[in-house]
């Protein structure tokens, strides 16, 4: 616990120093995670990262961060942009999958590498890690069309990414005649946190409607969120094998349900208290993202790593641009949304670990290739992606606009 607190304190200070250089504080948190993680100074060591109390704390804080997403998904507002967000999510996800798969497919065709590996690279590439961009939104008080499009996409992108990746995994498993993941079961696991969170969030909404003070509202919400997270942990430990429910999706669905059931002023009171807690949660999640990254891999990165990073960036940007153009989104969304979707490492490392376990027996050389490429890309891409994500918000003119947008919305509501 002391190791974790010390690391978080250092990350906070480094983040402040980095912010003085007009760079995102999250870049400081990420570098602190790498520098103090198991591959460098080892303050945040493997024993801490693998401890049951740490994984439990991380899961709870993931659910808390989900509040940031869910409380923005107000149905009366989403009706205007829901179609745009859904279409853009699909085009940027599938666009990335298609471009990365095609690029590696051509390379592997001429090098004699199994072509199914190209689809696995594409499946890993389409996922986006939402925490880095959400950290920038929180830290820089960003608001505007790009921000309001990104936040709900952070949840939907996880769903699309998981569905496509596990479909590819099931195909590759059947091709190699190994025990693969049942696609229907996987689909259930992907959507289970959404269903669980929505049900318990609706209960929370009913309770919060009748609370008379801000304190009682927050306490009732936290108690029910904790109960929801503990139920999900029970399922992970005792029912699911080799899989885990997504706690950020759980918190997102939970907060979406209650946010649409209580008055706006009551919701604002809850989030005023919870926003600092979400800020602390984001620091821990980014540290956990950075700690497993081995900076030594930067020096061993090869041509496949460069191809992966570039083709994925092209896929994300092009897919987001096409989706935004199809739905007549504002010009800033078309031009800059793609930059905010570049962060990747947390999800990519999870998918890579699953891929390696499937390939290790029947195709060990493919397992080694995919592991080395993605591991190096995770380090290099994340540093570049965090910088580019902030630039995306900056070029869109949305940094520091949260209070202004909220004030305009309040005036609009009154009139």
Question: Alpha-carbon Rg of the chain, whole angstroms?
Answer: 21
| pLDDT computed for residue 77 by the predictor | 67
Between 406 and 26, name the one with better pLDDT: 26
Could you give the CA distance from residue 203 to residue 169 in angstroms, rounded to a whole number?
36
What's the rounded Cα separation, in Å, for the pair 315 and 121?
Answer: 13
Spell out the residues 6+ positions from residue 116 whose beta carbon is closer than 8 angstroms to its own: 171, 172, 175, 176
Report pLDDT for 345: 66
- Check residue 242 and give its pLDDT: 58
Does the structure show a pLDDT above 80 at 130? Answer: no
pLDDT grade, residue 179 (50/70/90)? low
Greatest pairwise CA separation for the chain in angstroms = 69
Task: Name the average pLDDT for the chain.
Answer: 86
CA pair distance 53, 181, nearest whole angstrom:
29
Mean pLDDT of 205-232: 94
Q: How far apart are CA 289 and CA 126, in angstroms?
A: 18
User: 182 falls in which pLDDT band (50, 70, 90)?
Assistant: low
The answer to whether 142 touches 134, Cβ cutoff 8 Å, is no
Name the helix (H) or strand (E) containing 199.
helix 183-209
Calculate mean pLDDT across residues 238-257.
Answer: 83
pLDDT of residue 411: 57
- What value does the mean pLDDT take over residues 400-415? 67
Q: What is the mean pLDDT of residues 212-225?
A: 93
Residue 183 pLDDT > 70? no
pLDDT over 70, % of the chain:
91
Q: What is the pLDDT of residues 148-168, one digit of tens each?
A: 888 888 777 877 888 888 888
pLDDT tens, residue by residue, 365-383: 888 888 888 878 877 888 8
Has residue 211 got a pLDDT over 80? yes
Instruction: Estimate to the nearest angstrom the gap between the alpha carbon of 69 and the chain centroid.
Output: 11
pLDDT band at 118 (very low <50, low <70, confident <90, very high): very high
Q: What is the pLDDT of residues 292-317, one digit of tens each?
A: 877 777 666 688 989 999 999 999 99
Task: Set out the domains of the chain in order of their start, with CATH numbers.
Answer: 2-414 (1.20.1530.20)
pLDDT at residue 80 in the model:
66
Q: What is the model's pLDDT at position 158?
A: 74
| pLDDT at position 185 | 67
Cα→Cα distances 225→56, 66, 237, 268, Å: 14, 11, 18, 18
Residue 392 — pLDDT band, cuts 50, 70, 90?
very high
Give the separation between CA 307 and CA 223, rounded to whole angstroms.
47
Mean pLDDT of 29-40: 89
- pTM attached to this predicted model: 0.76
For residues 240 and 252, what is the distance between their CA atoms, to the nearest angstrom?
Answer: 21
């Amino acid at each position: 616990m002391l190791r974790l607190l010390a690391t978080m304190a250092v990350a906070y200070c480094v983040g402040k120093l980095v912010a003085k250089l007009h760079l995102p504080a999250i870049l400081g948190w990420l570098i602190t995670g790498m520098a103090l993680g198991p591959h460098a100074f080892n303050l945040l060591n493997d024993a801490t990262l693998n401890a049951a109390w740490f994984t439990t704390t991380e899961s709870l804080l993931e659910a808390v961060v989900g509040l940031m997403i869910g409380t923005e998904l107000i149905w009366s507002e989403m009706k205007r942009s829901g179609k745009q967000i859904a279409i853009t999510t699909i085009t940027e996800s599938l666009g990335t999958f298609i471009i990365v798969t095609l690029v590696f497919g051509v390379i592997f065709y001429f090098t004699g590498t199994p072509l199914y590996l190209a689809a696995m690279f594409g499946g890993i590439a389409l996922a986006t890690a939402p925490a880095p961009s959400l950290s920038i939104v929180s830290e820089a008080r960003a608001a505007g069309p790009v921000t309001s499009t990104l936040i709900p996409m952070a949840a939907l992108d996880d769903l699309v990414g998981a569905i496509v990746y596990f479909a590819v995994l099931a195909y590759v498993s059947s091709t190699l005649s190994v025990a693969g993941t049942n696609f229907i079961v996987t689909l259930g696991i992907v959507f289970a946190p959404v269903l669980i969170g929505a049900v318990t969030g609706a209960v929370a909404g009913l309770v919060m409607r009748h609370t008379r003070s801000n304190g009682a509202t927050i306490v009732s919400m936290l108690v029910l969120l904790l109960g929801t997270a503990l139920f999900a942990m029970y399922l992970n430990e005792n029912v699911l094998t080799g899989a885990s429910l997504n706690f950020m999706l759980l918190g997102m669905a939970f907060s979406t349900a209650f946010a649409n059931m209580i008055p706006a002023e009551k919701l604002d009171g809850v989030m005023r208290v919870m926003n600092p807690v979400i800020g602390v949660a984001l620091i821990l999640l980014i540290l956990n993202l950075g700690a497993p990254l081995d900076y030594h891999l930067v020096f061993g990165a090869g041509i496949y790593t460069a191809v992966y990073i570039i083709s994925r960036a092209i896929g994300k940007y092009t897919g987001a641009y096409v989706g935004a153009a199809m739905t007549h989104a504002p010009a800033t969304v078309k031009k800059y949304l793609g930059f905010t979707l570049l962060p990747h490492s947390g999800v990519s490392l999870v998918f890579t670990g699953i891929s390696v376990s499937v390939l290790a027996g029947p195709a060990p050389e493919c397992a080694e290739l995919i592991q080395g490429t993605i591991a190096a890309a995770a380090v290099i891409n994340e540093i570049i992606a965090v910088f580019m994500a902030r630039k995306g918000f900056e070029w869109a003119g949305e940094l520091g606009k949260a209070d202004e947008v909220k004030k305009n919305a309040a005036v609009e509501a009154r009139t």
